[in-house]
């Protein structure tokens, strides 16, 4: 739209230069053209054959009127106007909302793929821990003749075997409908809404971006969002939100052991039984195994190995979400839990040993009493 208006200006400007005049004057037609508000509907092509850029945000306000008095001549003003419109186009970024959710501890991917077979995206790697689903969003603005299909007319959902789901371009009111389908194939425990972990992110598309990617606070800028980019972003966000869940589980165990230690400090004893302690041992070990093996926190994506631009996105997101540091904190907390478990196991073992010692003492006492009784009985028989 900016290019058409600039062309119109240059043609009028040329005619204005060829007309006889004795001095330079500020052209009034420039102001008339610039202050006319833009109509967002006029930006949607109907009869022309062109491609609509995905997720682009339309201008809804009038272009700013530049001060002609600050320019020495009209040619300088025309050059500045062209640069101004190029900057406006360069700043128009398509925004794709991304939401990562951890909703269960395990998902049957094969069953999910069977139910939604028509929506499954063909895998681009040998990884089997996730599946990507593509859904069409009907939008009448993009269904006119001559307009090519673009990614804004689709939503993507990437589901991971360990229970994370990452949704791209899904409206807030549609999230639960997608999650309800995934829950039907949850083979592990489904989390309550209060326990569910969520994280929001934004991907911006900028076709004229010089670099392969550009990062920012809670967003990343890409030239275009393809299916491999979706898989890479989903892998890091899915791992991050799952790590949040496992950290919360370990935090619960740390709190429980902290309460036990405080009680021991006050009373000098503890009341935990052996069964409860073994349950905590199993929970700590399973959490660590899930993070390393099932979530694959240290397994680099095959897509990132294959192409440098995806490796750059992968490394940036892992650093942005501090995945390595957060796992180090989780490991430190697990070592604290392990130390407390070892101490309590020894205490329970000592308690059991003390009990056995008392049983032995009681049995020996009974044996001695019986022996004394038999001696007294024999003495009575001899005297009689």
At residue 292 the predicted structure's pLDDT band, cuts being 50, 70 and 90, is confident
Q: Average of pLDDT values for 80-106? A: 71
Listed range (22-31, 59-68, 211-220, 339-348) with the worst mean pLDDT:
22-31
User: pLDDT at residue 318 above 90?
Assistant: yes
Query: Cβ of 82: how many Cβ atoms within 10 Å?
Result: 15
What is the predicted pLDDT for the residue at 26?
43
At residue 296 the predicted structure's pLDDT band, cuts being 50, 70 and 90, is confident
pLDDT 10s digits, 335-375:
999 888 888 888 777 777 777 778 888 888 888 888 888 88
Tell me which of 57 and 12 has the higher pLDDT.
12
User: Closest Cα to residue 151, out of 51, 64, 3?
Assistant: 51
User: pLDDT at residue 103 above 50?
Assistant: yes
Tell me the pTM: 0.67
Listed range (3-7, 97-101, 123-127, 219-223) with the worst mean pLDDT:
3-7
Residue 223: both structure tokens together: 């030239």
The C-alpha atoms of residue 39 and residue 163 are separated, in whole angstroms, by 45
User: pLDDT at residue 108 above 90?
Assistant: yes
Three-class secondary structure assignment of the chain: CHHHHHHHHHHHHHHHHHCCCCCCCCCHHHHHHHCCCCCHHHHCCCCCCECCCCCCCCCCCCCCCCCHHHCCCHHHHHHHHHHHHHHHHHHCCEEEEEEEEECECCECHHHHHHHCHHHECCCCCCCCCEEEEEEECCCHHHCCCCECCCHHHEEEEEEECCCEEEEECCCHHHHHHHHHHHHCCECCCECCCCCCEEEEEEEEECCCCCCCEEEECCEEEECCCCHHHHHHHHHHHHHHHHHHHHHHHHHHHHHHHHHHHHHHHHHCCCCCCHHHHHHHHHHHHHHHHHHHHHCCCCCCCHHHHHCHHHHHHHHHHHHHCCHHHHHHHHHHHHHHHHHHHHHHHHHHHHHHHHHHHHHHHHHHHHHHHHHHHHHHHHHHHHHC
Q: Average of pLDDT values for 75-87? A: 51
Q: What value does the mean pLDDT of the chain take?
A: 77
What is the predicted pLDDT for the residue at 17?
52
What is the predicted pLDDT for the residue at 11?
58
């Amino acid at each position: 739209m900016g290019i058409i208006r600039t062309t119109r200006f240059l043609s009028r400007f040329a005619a204005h230069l060829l007309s006889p005049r004795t001095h330079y004057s500020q052209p009034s037609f420039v102001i008339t053209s610039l202050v006319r508000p833009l109509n967002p509907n006029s930006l949607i092509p109907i009869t022309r054959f062109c491609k609509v850029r995905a997720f682009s945000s339309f201008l809804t306000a009038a272009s700013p009127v530049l001060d002609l008095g600050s320019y020495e001549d009209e040619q300088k003003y025309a050059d500045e106007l062209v640069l101004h419109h190029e900057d406006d186009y360069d700043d128009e970024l398509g925004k794709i909302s991304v939401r990562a959710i951890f909703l269960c501890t395990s998902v049957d991917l094969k069953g999910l793929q069977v139910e939604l077979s028509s929506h499954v995206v063909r895998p681009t790697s040998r990884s089997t821990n996730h599946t990507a689903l593509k859904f069409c969003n009907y939008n009448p603005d993009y269904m006119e003749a001559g307009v090519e299909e673009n990614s804004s007319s689709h939503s993507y959902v990437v589901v991971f075997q360990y229970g994370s789901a990452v949704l791209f371009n899904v409206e807030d009111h549609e999230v639960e409908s997608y999650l309800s389908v995934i829950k039907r194939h949850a083979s592990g425990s489904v989390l309550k809404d209060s326990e569910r972990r969520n994280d929001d992110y934004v991907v911006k598309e900028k076709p004229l971006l010089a670099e392969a990617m550009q990062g920012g606070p809670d967003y990343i800028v890409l030239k275009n969002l393809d299916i491999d980019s979706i898989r890479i972003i989903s892998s890091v966000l899915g791992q991050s939100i799952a790590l949040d869940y496992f950290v919360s589980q370990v935090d619960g165990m740390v709190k429980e052991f902290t309460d036990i230690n405080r009680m021991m400090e006050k009373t000098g004893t503890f009341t935990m039984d052996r069964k409860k302690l073994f349950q905590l041992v199993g929970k700590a070990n399973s959490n660590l195994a899930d993070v390393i093996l099932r979530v694959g926190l240290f397994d680099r994506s095959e897509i990132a190995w294959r192409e440098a631009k995806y490796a750059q996105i992968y490394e940036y997101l892992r650093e942005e979400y501090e995945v390595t540091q957060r796992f180090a904190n989780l490991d430190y907390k697990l070592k604290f839990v392990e130390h407390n478990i070892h101490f309590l196991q020894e205490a329970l073992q000592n308690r059991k040993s003390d009990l056995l010692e008392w049983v032995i003492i009681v049995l020996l006492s009974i044996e001695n009493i019986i022996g004394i009784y038999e001696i007294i009985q024999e003495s009575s028989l001899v005297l009689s």
